[in-house]
Structure formats: structure tokens, C-alpha cells
Chain A
Amino acid sequence: MVQERGPDTVDINVNMGPQHPSTHGVFRMVLTIDGERVIDVEPHIGYMHRGAEKLSENMDYRAAIGYQDRTDYLAQFLTEQAYCMAVEKLLELEVPERSEYIRVILCELNRVTSHLMFLGAFGIDLGYFGTSFTYGFRERERLQDIFEEVTGERMMYGYFRPGGLAWDVPDNFVQMIRDVLPHTRQGLKDLDMLMTQNEIVAARTKGIGAMNLEDSINWGLSGPMLRAAGSDWDLRKDKPYSIYDRFDYDIPVGSHGDVFDRYLVRLEEAYQSLRIVEQALDQLPDGPIMPEKMPRRLRGPDAEVYAAVEGPRGEYGIYIVSKGGDKAYRLKIRAPSFCNLAALRDMTVGNYVADAVAILGSIDIVLCDVDR
């Protein structure tokens, strides 16, 4: 007698990437799917590995700055800031006031450009087909132009130096930024209007890829990923570095830890960064940009230092082991993208394939930062 039986189902492996528009770089995921549901994810990284840490160990402290830019290429000023802070700690250099202010202004604007990039690319992941992307890029370009006026480069600035800055900003620096800020605000508002209340976006993001606070902490998440889950951990407030204790700003915190909250946290963070920039512009003092007693060659003592900044993706840290000489003996980068990416499997399993794209987008990875 033939037994009544439903059709057999098998799990299928689907390869996504390395060249896939939604992976934000060269990243490969092998999804195991049961129908439309993801039951396992295996991420493959390393396609962009260039050995940035090892390369930085082979050159002196000034020459290595160029390689920090090339790790997190959407937040170059922040990577330079972390690196310079580590070297300054090592050599006990005092950064002049003016340099600190200029650094904060540029870092915060850089955070805005990074978040604009995220908001634009996130829209693509959800199916906006470029609308949000062009909005984000339009505003990012204006800020990029300022960076170019100041440093001479559009992407790899190489502008911060251990101890201060490479050269002073142009005379119209303050005015230039004040002129652009309203455009940036308007651009953020455009993106806000476009996405926040849109029912389709809500359906695609609310409750997707949620991770509770405990898991987030256990996975070592940081930055907007962690704050979306409900923690207000922010290095700028909790471990104040540079001059961040002089400004008045809020740390946006989410409650569900899902994709939508991560989007909201980043959007609000961009507004808060603009607030910091405005205050810093008001207070910008005159003065030198390099310390008075600057050694001609930077030589470190026998020591180990760690310095971290709150990057747009989370805690970006540089650990330097020095054994004397003008090079780092060992340099380790704590890359926020890498640590945040580690939680991908936990967030994705159980969701649909299309949501995997949204979840990956919400982590906001930079593959050069992941692979270094």
C-alpha cells in the first residue's frame, strides 16, 4: 500500500557575492535556505585583505597615516584621529587647542558623510533604486568639497599628524562650513521624509534582525548597532577623548535593536553631529596647530598604548606596541565593522532572504575595515 506523503523538501545553498551589489564591497555569504527562509549563513571575508597592520609596522609614524585612511574609507578623519591619538599617547605629545577643534569639526562632518552614505545605500537595499542614494550623495559631495578645500584630497586625506595637523585650514573655513550646514540639514530632512514614515520601509525593517541588548553586548557590538538595542554607550561621553566634554549633544538610543532602529539612530546621530560642529565653529580659537616642542623624528619609548574613537560604525581603536625606534613594533586595529559583522548569523537566521540584504545593509560594514 502506498503511503500518503507530502513532497520532499531539501535545503539549498545559495551563494551571494563576492560581487553582489548589496554586499557593499567584496563580501561573500553562503546562505542555506529552506524555501524562502534562511536557516544558516556562512560569511566569507578576506577578499580585501591588504595587510594594513603589517604595512603600518614597516614605516615610520608619519608615513603610516596614509594606511589608516585606507582602512575605514568612509570615515578617514576618524581613523586618522584614532591613530594620531595613539601615537600622541605614546610620545606624550600635547595637541594645541586649535588643532583639537579643527579635528573635532572635521571628524563630526566626516561622521555625517558616512551616515549619509549609509542612508543612501540602505535605501538601495530596501529597493529605492537610487533615489535615496542620489540624495545622500548630493549632500555628501558638498561636505566632500569642503574636505577637498582643506586637505586637497577627496578621499584619502592624510591631514592629521601626530601632534596636530599637517597645515592650517583656509581662511574661509568657518564660513564655508556655515554655508553648507543648511544644505546638509535639508538633505537629512529629505531622506527622513523619504523613508521614516514610509509604510513599505516600515514593513521591510520593523522587527527584522532584532538583537536584544544582552546579546549585543555579548557579541561585542558597538556604535549605532549597540545603541539601537538600548544602550547609550558612546565613547565620546563615556570615555571622553579629545575635547568632546565641551559640547552639548545627545546620544540617540533605540529600543528594539532591529533594522529600523539602527536606521533611526544613525539619522539622529547625523543631526547631533551637526550640532557639535556648530558649537565647535563658534568656539574655534586661534593659535598654533603643532606643539612647540615637536621632535624632528618621532621615536617611541618601550610602551604599549591603546586609543579609540567613536567612529560612525563603532569603536575604532588602535593598539600600538613600541619597542623604541620610529616604527611600531606591532600595530593592531580594532575594526568596528569586523566585530559588528560577527553577529550577522544570529540576526539573519530565521528571516527571509530579502531581509538578509536589509540586515547586512543595517550593519553598515566597510569591507576595507573588515579585512584591513
Chain B
Amino acid sequence: MIGIFKSMYITFATMLRKPVTIEYPAKHRDVPQRDRAFPILLWDKDVDEPFCTGCHACERACPVECMTVTMKDNPLHADGKSDRRKIVDEFWIDYGRCMRCNICVEVCNFEAIAMNNTWAGHELSTFDRNDLVLDLQQLLAQHKQGKIDEWVAE
């Protein structure tokens, strides 16, 4: 009998403690700075072009092959505004397949890609799974608008 009363005691004592949960869709807890949602591309504000040179390093290293990159000659380099000879032409990432492993960020030599560390990177449900394939403009949008304070490990 004593054991049962002990169990009852701990149950009622817990009832009096402060709740540890929050009501999620209404409230959002802070995500840590290193949060790894999905990869996004970064925007070089000084030159007004993406950092990405389309070098395919991330595409080759991705374990699930969810990225597609193509490269083109940089028109701004011809005008002398940028020192990037080549630049990304098209870029797709299939968020439906990405396993958020951070390897693309690690292999990029130009610090052109980072993991989204905001809630916008988590709440991505769509009705059509094709909407989860993001193109270059969509991938750049968040950093271009200054919504991301990215964290990249040295």
C-alpha cells in the first residue's frame, strides 16, 4: 500500500509544479543560434550578387543528392564590378529530400550557403510536395531581406 501512496503523492506534487510546456502554434520558443533548419543561399550585399559561384562542391558532397547547381559567366565581372569570374545560374534544393546534415555548408569554400536558423525554416508545410523544391530566388530571398543572422562554424 505504501508504494501506491508514494505514487499518488508524487503525482499530486507534480500537479502543483509550474508547467514546462508552451502553447506552440500561438507561441514560439526561441530557436538557438546554431539551429539547423534547411540550407539557404547568402547574398553579398556589397556587390549585389549571390556569394555562390556555382562550383558544384555542395552538390557532389550532398548525401541525398537533393541539390542541382549550374554555373555561368558573371556579367558583373565583365563590367568590372565583381571579382567573381563565374556565378551561379540556377540552383534548386529539394527540401523534401534534404536531411539537414550540414555537409553542404561545410564543404562550401565561399561561405555562400548556410543553415536557416529561424522559425521560417521549420514551418514549411505545403499542399503540393513540388512546392518544396526551391529555386535560386526563393533560396536567396530570406538573406537578401536581412531576415537571417546566419551561423557558420569555422
Query: In the complex, A150→B7 CA distance in Å?
Result: 35
Closest to B63 in A: A63
Contacting B at CB under 8 A, from A80-130, are none
Docked pose: A229 CA to B62 CA in angstroms? 45
Interface presence of A8 (CB below 8 A): no
- Contact yes or no, A202 B34, CB < 8 A: no
Option from B7, B34, B101, B153 in Cβ contact (under 8 Å) with A158: B101
Q: Scoring A residues 176 to 197 as 1 if CB is less than 8 Å from chain B, else 0, what string do you get? A: 0000000000000010011111
Give complex CA distance A156, B99 in Å: 9
Contacts of B62 in A (CB 8 A): 63
B26 at the interface (CB under 8 A from A): no
Assembly CA distance A168 to B154 (angstroms) = 9
Docked complex Cα distance between A326 and B52 (Å): 26
Q: Quick one: which of B11, B101, B115, B153 has the most chain A CB within 10 A?
A: B101
CB contacts (< 8 Å) of A138 on chain B: these are 20
Query: Contacts A148-B32, A152-B115, A153-B36: A195 and B7 contacting too (C-beta < 8 A)?
Result: yes
Interface of A is mostly: helix
- Report how far A156 CA is from B34 CA in the complex, Å: 14
Cβ of A141 within 8 Å of any chain B Cβ, yes or no, is yes
In the complex, whether B103 has a CB less than 8 A from a CB of chain A is yes
We find that the number of chain B residues with CB closer than 8 angstroms to chain A is 28
A299 to B1, CA, bound (A): 63
Rounded to whole Å, the gap between the CB of A171 and the closest CB of chain B is: 12
| Residue contact A193 to B6, C-beta cutoff 8 Å | yes
| Contact yes or no, A166 B102, CB < 8 A | yes
| Chain A residues, CB < 8 A from B2 | 197
> Are A63 and B115 interface neighbours, CB within 8 A?
no
Query: Hey, which chain B residues are within 8 Å of A62, CB to CB?
Result: 61, 103
Question: Could you give, for residues 221-255 of chain A, a 1 whenever the CB lies within 8 Å of some chain B CB and a 0 otherwise?
Answer: 00000000000000000000000000000000000
Measured CA separation A149–B34 after assembly (Å): 6
CB within 8 A of A64: which of B3, B4, B32, B63? B63
Pick the residue among A59, A152, A190, A193 that contacts B36 (CB under 8 A). A152
**Interface membership of A151, Cβ < 8 A:** yes
Quick check: B6 and A198 within 8 Å, CB to CB?
A: yes
Judge whether A152 and B32 touch: CB under 8 Å.
yes
A298 to chain B, nearest CB (A): 12
- Within the complex, the shortest CB–CB distance from B136 to chain A, in Å, comes to 24
* A63 & B61 in contact (Cβ 8 Å cutoff): yes
Q: Is the CB of B4 within 8 A of A66?
A: no
Once the chains bind, are B153 and A153 in contact (CB under 8 Å)? no
Query: What 0/1 pattern do residues 31 to 52 of B give for CB contact below 8 A with A?
Result: 0101110000000000000000
A149 to B29, CA, bound (A): 13
- B-side interface residues toward A, CB under 8 Å? 1-4, 6-7, 9-11, 14, 20, 32, 34-36, 61-63, 99-103, 106, 115, 117, 153-154
Identify 4 new A-B residue pairs, CB closer than 8 A, beyond the known A135-B14, A152-B34, A190-B10: A66-B63, A153-B100, A194-B10, A199-B3
Interface residues of A (CB under 8 A from B): 59, 62-67, 131, 135, 138, 141, 148-153, 156, 158, 166-168, 170, 190, 193-202
Q: List 26 A-B contacts (CB under 8 A).
A: A62-B103, A63-B61, A63-B103, A64-B63, A65-B101, A66-B101, A67-B63, A149-B32, A149-B34, A152-B34, A152-B36, A152-B102, A152-B115, A156-B100, A166-B102, A166-B153, A168-B153, A170-B34, A193-B6, A193-B7, A194-B11, A195-B7, A197-B2, A199-B3, A201-B3, A202-B3
Would you list the 4 A-B pairs with minimal beta carbon distance, nearest first? A167-B153, A197-B3, A152-B36, A63-B63
